[in-house]
Amino acid sequence: MNDLTQEQRSALAQMTAPDRFSTGDSNRDLHRFDFSHHRGVPPVGVIWPLSTEEVSRILAWCYEQEVAVFPWGAGTSIEGNPVPTAPGLVMDLTRMDKVLAVRPQDLQADVQPGVLRRSLNREAGRHGLFFPPDPGADATIGGMIANNASGVRTVKYGATRDYVLRLTVVLPQGKVIHTGCRAPKSSSGYDLTRLFVGSEGTLGVVTDATLRLTGIPSHHLSAVVTFKELHDASKAVAMLIASGLDPAALELLPANLIALINREKELGLPEVPSLFCEFHGVSPAALEETGALAKEVCEDCGATDFKSGVSSAERQRLWQARHEAAETILRAHPGDKSLTVDAAVPISLYPEMILFAQQVVAEEGVVGYVFGHAGDGNLHVVMPGNPEDAGTWSHVEAVNTRIVKRAVELGGTCTGEHGIGIGKRRFMRQEHGDSYDLMHQIKQLIDPKNLMNPGKIF
Ligand X SMILES: Cc1cc2nc3c(=O)[nH]c(=O)nc-3n(C[C@H](O)[C@H](O)[C@H](O)COP(=O)(O)OP(=O)(O)OC[C@H]3O[C@@H](n4cnc5c(N)ncnc54)[C@H](O)[C@@H]3O)c2cc1C
CB of 283 to ligand X, least distance (A): 30
Q: Which is nearer to ligand X, 327 or 389 (CB)?
A: 327
CB of 110 to ligand X, least distance (A): 14
Please tell me the distance from the alpha carbon of residue 413 to that of residue 415, in angstroms, as a whole number: 5
Which residues, 6+ apart, have CB-to-CB distance to 114 below 8 Å? Answer: 73, 93, 94, 95, 96, 97, 140, 141, 142
Contacting range for ligand X; rule: CB under 6 A; set: 140-148, 237-245, 272-280, 388-396: 140-148
Contacting range for ligand X; rule: CB under 6 A; set: 64-72, 185-193, 215-223, 245-253: 64-72
Can you give the three-state secondary structure of 14-69, one letter per residue? HHCCHHHEECCHHHHHHCCCCCCCCCCCCCCEEECCCCHHHHHHHHHHHHHHCCCE
- Secondary structure class of 392 (helix, strand, coil): helix
Does 135 bind ligand X (CB under 6 A)? Our answer is yes
Does 93 bind ligand X (CB under 6 A)? Our answer is yes
Contacting range for ligand X; rule: CB under 6 A; set: 65-73, 185-193, 361-369, 435-443: 65-73
Does 88 bind ligand X (CB under 6 A)? Our answer is no
- Secondary structure class of 201 (helix, strand, coil): coil
Does 171 bind ligand X (CB under 6 A)? Our answer is no
Please tell me the distance from the alpha carbon of residue 457 to that of residue 427, in angstroms, as a whole number: 10
Q: Which residue is nearest to ligand X (CB)?
A: 143
Q: Which is nearer to ligand X, 155 or 287 (CB)?
A: 155
Q: Which of 8, 27, 52, 140 binds ligand X (CB under 6 A)?
A: 140
CB of 22 to ligand X, least distance (A): 17
Beta strands in 89-218 (DSSP E): 89-92, 99-103, 108-111, 129-130, 164-170, 176-180, 205-212, 214-215
Which residues, 6+ apart, have CB-to-CB distance to 111 below 8 Å? Answer: 98, 99, 100, 120, 141, 208, 209, 211
Q: Which of 22, 34, 153, 339 binds ligand X (CB under 6 A)?
A: 34
Does 217 bind ligand X (CB under 6 A)? Our answer is no
CB 344 within 8 A of CB 399: no
CB of 83 to ligand X, least distance (A): 8
Does 71 bind ligand X (CB under 6 A)? Our answer is yes
CB of 277 to ligand X, least distance (A): 17
* Cα angle for residues 429, 82, 108 (degrees, 5° grid): 95
Does 139 bind ligand X (CB under 6 A)? Our answer is yes
Bridge partners of 418?
none
What count of residues does the chain have?
458
CB of 160 to ligand X, least distance (A): 7
Q: Which is nearer to ligand X, 337 or 395 (CB)?
A: 337
Alpha-helical segments (H) within 336-389: 350-364
Which residues here bind ligand X, judged by CB under 6 A? 34-35, 70-78, 81-82, 93, 113, 135-137, 139-140, 142-144, 146-147, 149-151, 200-201, 205-206, 326-327, 417-418, 453, 456
